[in-house]
């Protein structure tokens, strides 16, 4: 049996992420769940962002 996944986030934060990075939190989650994110690696600036990860995704048109 596959467990049901539920996600919540602040819509204002999602709008900020979209303005800054061009993708909303919903879009990013969709990329992760559909396998378009191909890898995660430590953020290049661990001094400023300790423990954070960056994702690498396949080329996505549009």
Tell whether pTM > 0.85. no
- Torsion angle defined by CA atoms of residues 60, 30, 33 and 11, in that order, rounded to the nearest 10 degrees: 140
User: What letters, b where the CB count within 10 A reaches 16 and e where it falls short, cover 28-41?
Assistant: bbebeeeeebeeee
Point out the residues of the chain with pLDDT beneath 50: none
Quote the pLDDT of residue 61: 61
* Backbone φ, ψ for residue 27 (5° rounding): -65, -40
pLDDT at 5: 82
């Amino acid at each position: 049996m596959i467990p049901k996944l539920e996600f919540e986030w602040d819509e204002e934060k999602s709008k900020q992420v979209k303005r800054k990075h061009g993708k909303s939190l919903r879009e990013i989650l969709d990329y992760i769940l559909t396998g378009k994110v191909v890898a995660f690696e430590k953020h290049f600036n661990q001094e400023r962002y300790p423990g954070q990860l960056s994702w690498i995704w396949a080329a996505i048109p549009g």
